[in-house]
Structure 1
Amino acid sequence: MTIVSTRVFKQINPHACPVVYKTDRLVGAGGAPIKDVGLTKLDISLGPLQVARDIMVADIEDDALLGYDILKGKIGRPADILLSQNRILLDGMEIPIFQVGKIGKARRVVVAENMTVPGHAEAVVSVYI
């Protein structure tokens, strides 16, 4: 699931701010609870791509964490994340990416569902986006 920080969410105009619904508690990779505000419907822009999704609002350090709910694409074809070229290809669009601060810092994300590893796979690598 995609998460937006509480800090970023508070920057939305109060008159245009969507309703937030309380949900189950979030738990970090180490099992520690994450303070969350709840779930809301947001329209977000990723470069030229506009998407409307249910987004979790929580106290996280970064502005946002893109989840598989967005990165899987509209038609189920996952994003191609090309860090060496500073871009993401998603739904036929090119989204420019760039790193801002925090060089060398990575986090582990745990997905709460089963994953099928294709035959001849040599490794599964954890990735921070």
Structure 2
Amino acid sequence: MSFKSAFSLLELVLTLLLLGILLSFGIPNIFNYNKSVCNKALQLQILNLKIALKNELKTNQTINIESLYKHLDMSKSSCYFEKQKGGFIGINEDKKVFFKLKNNILECEHTKSSKLHNSESFCDIF
């Protein structure tokens, strides 16, 4: 008589339960990580734009905002910039922030959709 080793039903249920618990903590962190990466990408592009703006101010008295757009990712995705009249909008999925050039200074304006989960504005990270 030979016995075959196998998992009991209790072992399988406990394994699936533990796996479910671990995934319930891990999946939201993946989504938050993606939003954080997008925020960092937008911040880096704004920093590059500010540096280009500063360099252009050294050489010219007037700024052409169109020439600064080359520093921004304008291709539509979940994380990109979009041209608007008088400036541009940074978009991170459902969060939007509006930037405009006023007196040769790049300003961030608060919008209704720019509130973060901790009641700060999306402008605060820029």
TM-score range with shorter-chain normalisation?
under 0.3
Q: Greater CA radius of gyration, 1 or 2?
A: 2
Q: What TM-score results when the alignment is normalised by the length of structure 1? A: 0.23
Q: What TM-score results when the alignment is normalised by the length of structure 2? A: 0.24
